[in-house]
Amino acid sequence: MSGDRPRDDALVGRRGVGTGTGTGTDSAGPAPHHDVLVRAVGVARTFGKGRAAVVAVHGVSGEIRAGARLALTGPSGSGKSTLLHLLAGLDEPTVGTITWPALGERHQLRPGPVAMVFQGSSLLPPLDVAENVALPLLLAGGSPPDADAAARRALDRLGLADLAAKLPEELSGGQAQRVAVARALAGRPRLILADEPTGQLDHRTAAVVVDALLETADALGAALVVATHDPRVADRLAARWSMTDGRLVVPDGSLSCSA
Amino acid sequence: MFGLTWLSALARRRRGPLAATAAGVAVAVALLASIGTFVSSSKATMTRRAVAGVAVDWQVEAQNGSDPAAVLDTVRAFPGVRTALPVGFAATTGLEATTGGTTQTTGPGFVLGLPDSYRTAFPGELRDLAGAGTGVLLAQQTAANLHAAPGDTVTVGRAGLPPVSLRVDGVVELPEADSLFQKVGAPAGAQPQAPPDNVLLVPEARWHELFDPLAAPRPDLVHTQIHTALVRTLPGDPAAAYAAISGRARNLEVRLAGAGLVGDNLAATLAAARSDALYAQVLFVFLGLPGAVLAGLLTASVAAAGAGRRRREQALLRARGAATGRLVRLGLLEAGAVGVAGAVAGLALAVAVGRLAFGTAGFGATPLAAAGWAGGAALVGLAIAMATVAWPAVRDARTVTVVAGRQQVGRARAPRWARAGLDLWLLGASALVFWLTSRGGYQLVLAPEGVPSISVSYWAFAGPAFLWAGAGLMAWRIADLAVHRGRRLLAAVIRPVAGPLSGTVAASLARQRRILSRAVVLVGLTASFAASTATFNATYRHQAEVDARLSNGADVTVTESPGTVVGPGAAAALARVPGVAAVEPVQHRFAYVGADLQDLYGVRPSTIVGATSLQDAYFAGGTARTLIGRLAAQPDAVLVSAETVKDFQLHPGDAITLRLQDGRTHAFRDVRFHYAGVAKEFPTAPKDSFLVANADYVARATGSDAVGAFLVDTGHASPAAVAQRVRAVVGTQATVADIVTSRRLVGSSLTAVDLAGLTRVELGFALLLAAAATGLVLALGLAERRRTFAIASALGATPRQLGGFVWAEAAVVTVGGLLAGTVGGWALSHMLVKVLTGVFDPPPAALSVPWGYLTVLAGVALVAAGAAAAGAVRATRRPAMALIRDL
């Protein structure tokens, strides 16, 4: 993570009740309401029913504030993606609540203040790169010319202008992920959630994609949460939360991380 | 072992796609087996119907010099003969009767001697009209000529012998007079002999008393026929039945060793039915096979929807060390399972359809035919499964790389066939074959009289087949071009459903144009198949009705006996009969055109259409309205046959002098007419040359307004019931025929092939295919893009915005397909009706468009598309978390 990134905001993690990792306290104190992008309280997510039920996330509580740079680490199947989906409003918790005090209601998050970058190819196959990047803007109600212009600016910022007319199937994995980052950038979100964005990439390409994410977040002043099991990626972010078997583990018993 | 595990896993995890593929196979199998049932059952029906109308199977005529008793013994001893009775034929110089103070005399005629048991053995030969059913019986027309009734005395003239007087016991009709008085042993192709006008029937013993004395001096005037009824255990196929019966007749002639010749009424009837049967087969090829091909294409589309899944699975198996051979075997196993399941389900469906449509659960008239049709249909089903499931799997296993398999959209070059212009070549070939077929007069079925073998010109099928395939590929090309090049227009068109995203949706559709074009083609081919089949069937039904009406003249026709003089005023009595809506008198005279004697019909142009319908196809050089209008405008106008126009080099307006019999003097006199147009057909008129003129002008010119027939329109009343009431009014003075009976009697006509069963099956399957082609293909296509919709949903697309993508695709496929189907169906209908001209008698002037069915068809397609799109939209509202987790 680059040293000149703004660190004026804080990350605050709360250990959930019954997680077995201690009770914990809010060391940073209550955050100003307009700073808290996401607040999770006692959140759990269970898939399936009865004996086949799988608890993917156990009572997680925590807050993500504006400008945060957070790595959500843990082995495969530890619940990172599920938690990210819950934070993005893509999924609803089985138990507990998630709110977005500074961003609005759940239905107002996407397209708009929250942007997701997925692990695999998340570009729409029948749209070219420029159309893919412009799509969230159009979905948000932007006019086609404005969306196109914004998309081209975003591509230009990430050095992808040459790819504007390419189709997703004509891109390499790294290029596709960078286009996905450009798509996140184009919507000028306040919170970028990236789910294993480098999971299918080699180290060199992964580094390029992480650079793109960090530059994008810096340029927009957005909070960035990256779920990853790659320590090299996690090391580039200021804060780290670990997940094990669906439980959130906060290092040093601290529940907050401020700028 | 691994194969079974794999199959079991597929059955558990991929039940839906496998069931859909098997359903496609089942539809093809069911359609083929059902049509097999139709062909087989209709052939058997044709044989049954044909022979049911035959009153006397064989008329074995004892030749001069032979002993009739010996011939009778030989016939009775012949295997398969149920009954054989001798019938005496004697020529009379004339009949005479004195009734009501006047004496009527007829020309020469025949006196038949019938054994007592004749009416029991051959009930179809005579029908009672008045008096007793036994004793001395007068034929209806003879009774009318003589003004004789039961109880009157008739004097019978005998050549060289004194006349004898007989008391009439009854009046009968001879429905089978044509075959009864046939010339036995006439060469094949000879003109049929007209039955005599004057016929008297007497008991056998009396006949011998009267004519045995004549036999010795004038053997040429007396002969004996052995009327024979056979045990009718015939093959179901009319052609086989014809071959069997005619073979047995020739065998009998050999046994008779020249003592007798066989007049084979059964074979003559079957000869007509065998060409009908072949036409039924032709119709099966034309109307049935496209449905089976469509079912195959549909199955291919369904199977193709699972291609991505299969490629991924193959990649995984390959990564775990599976060899190509194993992948191929797994593909074959999957195809075999799908094929067997589809074939079993299809045969079960065909049994159900057979019960519903034809009332039979078998696939053929005989066990062999049933096994053939069922086995053949099942094999086709297996072949479809192999072609659509196994072949792509084998090809992918051998050649396709994972990267290539990933490509769903893009900028791939046009397919090889498109670059080679195959669609244009096919359309050109279709036009060429059609032209060549038209030069041959569309004679598809050749069944020469007296020749056992018949043949079909299957080459003519290539025209519609090429048109269908070429139009389908052309639709692909146009859809591909329109979606690709017409993106802006498309965006404007879909703006109502896609809103501000219309440009993006249009771009998305343009990139998926290959998939969309395939769907458009499938919907278009299905729609054109359904539309052309329905139009052909409607035209066929209409022409069958026209044929029956043309033969009968109207709903009910009252034909006055020759020699009787009934004026147009008699129409009033008929009009009072309950159920009669309109009555129209038509004169029937004979007129010499040069040396040629032709029928002349005197009509009232202003009212003729009130009682019968006149089709444009009946006339040449103008519509029915135009030519009847010319008659109305010019009193001495006459419509003549095309042959007459050609023979006499006539031009419109030319004066033409006909010789007509004067009603007062009975002498022929010249009457001047003006040629006004060509009549090819006319109600009650014969097939050959005839004339149509103004009744008033003919009456003035001949001094007689005598009517030949009254055409009766029964409106909504039953023609048969009205005919019964009319018979009670006219008694024995006229023959009353109704259109219902006429429809049954048009047995020798090709329109007698009963398409009702085929229609029900074809049109039902067409609806099923239309629903499947639009609904299923669209649903599968949309399901394939669940991931795309899940991405859009994760990006924040609202259900309405996602609906824009779905509805736009549904609209493009449905509207494009229906448009292609309309154009293709129109062209195909025209070509089918033209190529199958031989089926129609008379040829249709225009197609009968079944608007009701077409509306239902479009409705089914739209509802299926709507349901598929609504299902997809509903699915996008709750994007599967599994899909999002996979992103």
> Is B187's pLDDT higher than 70?
no
Q: Which amino acid is at A221?
A: G
Are B792 and A139 a contacting pair at CB < 8 A? yes
pLDDT greater at residue B179 or residue A23: B179
Buried b (16+ CB within 10 A) or exposed e, A221-255: ebbbbbbbbbeebbebbbbbbbbebbbbbbeeeeb
In this model, does residue B421 exceed pLDDT 90? yes
| % of residues, chain B, pLDDT over 70 | 89
Domain boundaries, position A223: 10-258
Residues of A in contact with B784 (CB under 8 A): none
Q: Is residue A5 part of a domain?
A: no
Single out the residue of A176, A173, A139, A125 nearest to residue A155, CA to CA. Answer: A176
pLDDT at B40 over 80: no
On the 0-12 / 13-18 / 19+ scale of CB atoms within 10 A, B373 is: buried
pLDDT at A75 exceeding the cut of 80: yes
* Within-domain flag for B704: yes
What ipTM was assigned to the predicted interfaces of this complex? 0.82
Q: What is the 3-state secondary structure (H, E, C) of B267-283?
A: HHHHHHHHHHHHHHHHH
Note whether residue B366 is domain-resident: no
Measuring CA to CA, how many Å separate A195 from each of A86, A212, A224, B565? 12, 15, 11, 104
Nearest to B801 among A125, A134, A139 (CB): A139
pLDDT band at residue B436 under the 50/70/90 scheme? confident
B570 and B649 in a single domain? The answer is yes
Q: CB–CB of B801 and A124 under 8 A?
A: no
Residue A23 scores a pLDDT above 60: no
Q: B563 and B543 share a domain? A: no
Question: Would the pLDDT of B784 be above 80?
Answer: no
Task: List pLDDT tens digits, range A157-208.
Answer: 888 899 999 998 888 888 888 898 888 888 888 899 998 888 777 888 788 8
Say what the pLDDT of residue A28 is.
44
pLDDT at B879: 54
> Which residue range(s) make up the domain with B125?
58-69+81-231
Residue B378 falls within a domain, yes or no? no
Q: Give the pLDDT of residue A19.
A: 33
Per the domain annotation, does A222 fall within a domain? yes
At residue B363, the pLDDT reads: 66
Same domain for B764 and B885? Answer: yes
User: What is the C-alpha to C-alpha distance for residues A227 and A211, in angstroms, rounded to an integer?
Assistant: 15
Q: Is the pLDDT of residue B282 over 60?
A: yes
Q: What's the pLDDT at B105? A: 82
Assess whether B576 and B704 both reside in one domain.
Answer: yes
Residues B558 and B687 in one domain: yes
Pairwise CA distance, residues B701 & B663, whole Å: 9
Best-predicted range by mean pLDDT among B29-38, B70-79, B552-561?
B70-79
Contacts B401 to A, Cβ<8 Å: none
Residues B746 and B827 grouped into a single domain: no
Nearest-angstrom CA–CA distance, B673 and B631 = 11
| Cα B754 from chain centre | 6
Would an 8 Å CB–CB cutoff place A78 in contact with chain B? no
How would residue B823 be classed by pLDDT, with cut points 50, 70 and 90? very high
Check residue B754 and give its pLDDT.
57
Contacts for B212 with CB less than 8 Å, ≥ 6 apart: none
Tens of pLDDT, residues B705-757 = 888 889 999 888 888 899 889 888 887 777 888 887 776 655 434 445 556 66
Judge whether residue A1 has pLDDT over 70. Answer: no
A116 vs B contacts (CB less than 8 Å): 794-795
Q: How confident is the model at residue A255 (pLDDT cuts 50, 70, 90)?
A: very low
Which pLDDT band, with edges at 50, 70 and 90, does B884 fall under?
low
In this prediction, residues B40-58 reach a mean pLDDT of: 79
Average pLDDT rounded to a whole number, residues B580-603: 86
CB contact (8 A) between residue B504 and residue A141: no
Say if residue B887's pLDDT is above 70. no
In a domain, A3, yes or no: no
Interface of B with A in 730-789 (CB under 8 A): 788
A67 assigned to some structural domain = yes
> Above pLDDT 90, what percent of chain B?
12
The answer to whether the Cβ–Cβ distance between B508 and A126 falls below 8 Å is: yes
Determine the residue of chain A that is closest to B512 in CA distance: A126
CATH number of the domain where residue A254 is located: 3.40.50.300
Question: Which of A85, A131, A141 has the CB atom closest to B507's CB atom?
Answer: A131
| Band of pLDDT at residue B261, cut at 50, 70 and 90 | confident
Sign of CA dihedral B436, B441, B447, B450: negative
Would you say residue A30 has pLDDT above 60? no
The answer to whether residue B887 neighbours chain A at the CB level (below 8 Å) is yes
Domain boundary among B750, B770, B791: B750
Query: A111 contacts in B (CB within 8 Å)?
Result: 795-797
Task: Determine contact, residues A168/A124, Cβ cutoff 8 Å.
Answer: yes
Residues B427 and B574 placed together within one structural domain of the fold? no
pLDDT of residue B358: 66
Confirm whether A4 is domain-assigned: no
How many structural domains is chain B composed of? 3
Q: How far is B794 from chain A (nearest CA, A)?
A: 7
Domain boundary among B166, B199, B231: B231
Whether B500 and A143 lie within 8 Å, measured CB to CB: yes
Same domain, B601 and B672: yes
Best mutation target among B795, B806, B883 (most A Cβ atoms within 10 Å) is B795
Average pLDDT over residues A127-135: 92
B798 neighbourhood in chain A, CB within 8 Å? 139
CB distance from A188 to chain B under 8 Å? no
A93 in B contact zone (CB under 8 Å)? no
pLDDT exceeds 90 at position B179: no
Nearest to A133 by CA among A120, A115, A119, A108: A115
Would you place residue B190 in the very low, low, confident or very high pLDDT band (cuts 50, 70, 90)? low
Domain C-terminal end among B189, B212, B231: B231
B280 in any annotated domain: no
Tell how strand B137-139 and strand B170-173 pair up: parallel
pLDDT, position B427: 94
B621 in any annotated domain: yes
Q: Region B396-406: what's the mean pLDDT?
A: 54
Left if phi > 0, otherwise alpha if psi is -120 to 50, otherwise beta: which for B100?
A: left
Query: Is residue B76 pLDDT above 60, yes or no?
Result: yes
pLDDT at A22 over 70: no
Report pLDDT for B674.
92
> CB distance A141–B503 less than 8 Å?
no
Taking residue B866's Cβ as centre, other Cβ atoms within 10 Å add up to 16
Residue B457 has pLDDT above 80, yes or no: no
Check pLDDT > 80 for residue B477: yes
| Mean pLDDT taken over chain B | 82
Residue B31, domain member (yes or no): no
CA distances for B205 relative to B112, B135, B212, angstroms: 11, 11, 10
- In which band, very low, low, confident or very high, does the pLDDT at B697 lie, cut at 50, 70 and 90? very high
Whether B506 and B655 share a structural domain: no
Whether residue B409 and residue A143 make contact (CB cut-off 8 A), yes or no, is no
Instruction: Give the per-residue pLDDT at A13.
Output: 45
Higher pLDDT pick, B445 / B152: B152
- Whether residues B591 and B738 fall in one domain: yes
Does A153 fall in a domain? yes
- Residues of chain B neighbouring A183 (CB-CB closer than 8 A): 795
Do the Cβ atoms of A128 and B512 come within 8 Å?
no
pLDDT at residue number A3: 34
pLDDT value, residue A16: 33
Which is it for the CA torsion B28, B29, B32, B38, positive or negative?
negative
Q: Are B345 and B23 in contact (CB under 8 A)?
A: yes
Confidence of residue B621 (pLDDT cuts 50, 70, 90): confident
Least confident of A118-132, B363-377, B564-578, B864-878: B363-377
Strand segments (E) across B182-301: 199-203, 222-230, 260-264
Can you give the pLDDT at residue A24?
30
Cβ–Cβ contacts within 10 Å for residue A193, how many? 28
Distances (CA, A) of B346 to A180, B353, B522, B727, B771: 49, 10, 21, 52, 18
Residues of chain A in contact with residue B406, where contact means CB-CB under 8 angstroms, are 169
SS3 B787: helix
Query: Cβ–Cβ of A90/B407 closer than 8 Å?
Result: no
**A124 CB within 8 Å of a chain B CB:** yes
Domain count, chain A: 1
Name the residue among A91, A120, A144 with its Cβ closest to that of B886. Answer: A120
pLDDT at B471: 92
Residue B653 has pLDDT above 80, yes or no: yes
Instruction: For residues B159 and B220, state if they share a domain.
Output: yes
Is the same domain home to B662 and B593?
yes
Which residue did the predictor score with more confidence, B657 or A5?
B657
What does the pLDDT read at residue B744?
A: 62
pLDDT digits (tens, 9 = 90+) for B291-319: 888 888 888 887 777 777 777 777 777 77
Tokens describing residue A144: 């086609």
Q: Is residue B340 part of a domain?
A: no
Instruction: Evaluate whether residue A1 is within a structural domain.
Output: no
Q: Is the predicted pLDDT of residue A9 greater than 60, yes or no?
A: no
Which pLDDT does position B863 carry in this prediction?
A: 93
Query: Is B775 within the bounds of a domain?
Result: yes
